[in-house]
Homo-oligomer: A and B are copies of this chain.
Amino acid sequence: MAIHFHKVTIIGVGLIGGSFAKVLRATGLAGSITGLGRSRETLELALELGVIDHMELVAKHAVEGADLVVLASPVGTFEQLVYEIGPHLERGAILIDVGSVKGRMVHRIEEILPKEIQFVPCHPIAGKEKFGVFEATEKLFRGTNCILTPTKRTESAALNMLREVWITAGANVIIMDPDMHDEIFAAVSHMPHVAAFAMMCAVAELSTGTDNYLNFSGAGFKDFTRIAASSPEIWRDICLMNRDNIIQMLDRFLFSLNRIKQDLVANDAKRLEKHLKIASDARRGLG
């Protein structure tokens, strides 16, 4: 299959959007790449770095003539963006997103999007320790999983094309139902982020009077709470867009926490060890 996009528009040229642009360029999959964003500085930097060929601040202008449009801004912006760009998309264009929620968001976008536009929802599970277009690299997706969550409305031609693109980027492609995606990621990503945020809230203000307790935190605590440094705006949106699943997973977590707390209150060494061992065995299996 010879894939070539005449014009690609990347909405949100950060780490993920910029890295995806670099993949397209490095593999010759794109003719020209236009970046759309809210920040002129970011777009100028992306131009300077050669990540994009053109910059644009007005959504409907940015997508004119594009045969591939990529939503790579925070997930909370997708719905409004699709309202804005929908009527201006080329007939036959493919829209994708790279957000970390699917489920209701996918169904909502399909309601808004003109029927003649294909939508292929993508979730590249790529490292995000660092942010911004300056960190973008065509290597970002190598060896990672990328989940595609098509619906009945998604044509197999568009799905297969995007599958090829992500494989070209070095990713392992997994096809999954959008609602199943949100259940799984509530468990392995969204709820753990909430827990890390809550942990920091619980500990941040504690002090001996002269020293903040956090001064004594070791590698374990730092590992545990690293994801709490993530953007509050982005995580607010993710949490709200997947709130039912996250609430359900939080309830599971609260149950497990309270169970161990009860073992401590009861001073029950046997039950405590049993509950710790379930966890330890599972974690060792994870590598």
Contacts and interface: CB of A to CB of B under 8 A. Distances in A.
A194 interface: yes
A6 interface: no
Given A192-B224, A278-B204, A185 B216 contact: yes
Given A197-B260, A249-B202, A257-B250, A216 B188 contact: yes
A216 to B, nearest CB: 5
Contact of A276 (B197, B251, B278): B197
A250 B254 CA distance: 11
Contacts of A283: 196, 200, 225-226, 228-229
Interface string A243-287: 100110111111111111100110101001101111110111111
A213 interface: yes
A285 to B, nearest CB: 8
A184 B212 CA distance: 9
A223 B221 CA distance: 10
Interface residues of A, number: 85
A265 B253 contact: no
A282 B233 contact: no
A195 B227 CA distance: 15
Interface string A174-209: 000000100011011101111111111111101010
A231 to B, nearest CB: 7
Contacts of A261: 247, 250-251, 254
A239 to B, nearest CB: 6
Contacts of A81: none
Which of A228, A230, A284 lies at the interface centre, i.e. has the most chain B CB atoms within 10 A of its CB?
A228
Contacts of A203: 187-188, 249, 252, 282
Contacts of A284: 229
Given A254-B254, A283-B226, A189 B240 contact: no
Nearest to A174: B216
B197 A280 contact: yes
Contacts of A194: 257, 260
Interface of A: 125, 127, 129, 145, 147, 180, 184-185, 187-189, 191-204, 206, 208, 213-214, 216-233, 235-236, 239-240, 243, 246-247, 249-261, 264-265, 267, 269, 272-273, 275-280, 282-287
6 contacts: A202-B252, A203-B282, A224-B226, A224-B227, A232-B279, A235-B276
